[in-house]
Amino acid sequence: MANILDVFRTQAGQKLIERTQQLTGQEGEKVQKALVFTLPAILTNSKSFDIAESEGKSDLISFIEQADLLAIGTDATVHQFDTVQIQKLKSFGSLIEIPEEDFLKILKISTAFLNALITQMMNAEEDADHTEIIETLCGKSLKYERIYIKALVKKGDSPDLIQSSEEIALGEDRKDDDESILGGYSGGR
The secondary structure of 138-159, three-state, reads HCCCCCCHHHHHHHHCCCCCCC
Q: Write down the pLDDT at residue 80.
A: 83
- Residue 9: pLDDT over 70: yes
Q: Write down the pLDDT at residue 171.
A: 59
pLDDT tens digits, one per residue of 63-116: 999 999 999 999 888 888 888 988 888 888 888 899 999 999 999 999 999 989
Query: Per the domain annotation, does 77 fall within a domain?
Result: yes
Cβ neighbours of residue 177 under 8 Å, at least 6 residues apart? none
Q: Write down the pLDDT at residue 189.
A: 47
Could you tell me the residue range of the domain that residue 121 belongs to? 4-158
Query: Per the domain annotation, does 61 fall within a domain?
Result: yes
Query: Per the domain annotation, does 133 fall within a domain?
Result: yes
Q: Write down the pLDDT at residue 155.
A: 55
Query: Per the domain annotation, does 180 fall within a domain?
Result: no
- For the chain, how are helix, strand and coil distributed in percent, rounded to 5? 65, 0, 35
Enter the pTM of the model.
0.78
- Residue 35: pLDDT over 90: yes
Query: Per the domain annotation, does 11 fall within a domain?
Result: yes
- What are the Cα distances from residue 164, in Å, to 10, 16, 108, 171? 10, 19, 30, 11
Q: How far apart are CA 171 and CA 70, in angstroms?
A: 32
Type of residue at 127: D
Q: Write down the pLDDT at residue 106.
A: 94
Q: How far apart are CA 187 and CA 189, in angstroms?
A: 7
- What are the Cα distances from residue 54, in Å, to 42, 65, 151? 18, 12, 13
Percent of the chain with pLDDT over 70: 74
Query: Per the domain annotation, does 171 fall within a domain?
Result: no
pLDDT tens digits, one per residue of 144-162: 888 888 888 865 444 344 4
Q: Write down the pLDDT at residue 70.
A: 93
Instruction: Name the pLDDT band for 59 (thresholds 50, 70, 90).
Output: confident
Degrees to nearest 5, angle at CA 50 with 45 and 55: 130
- Residue 185: pLDDT over 60: no
- Residue 143: pLDDT over 70: yes
Inter-residue contact 147 to 127 (CB < 8 Å): no
Q: How far apart are CA 162 and CA 165, in angstroms?
A: 9
Query: Per the domain annotation, does 31 fall within a domain?
Result: yes
Radius of gyration of the chain (CA): 18
Number of domains in the chain: 1
- Residue 56: pLDDT over 90: no
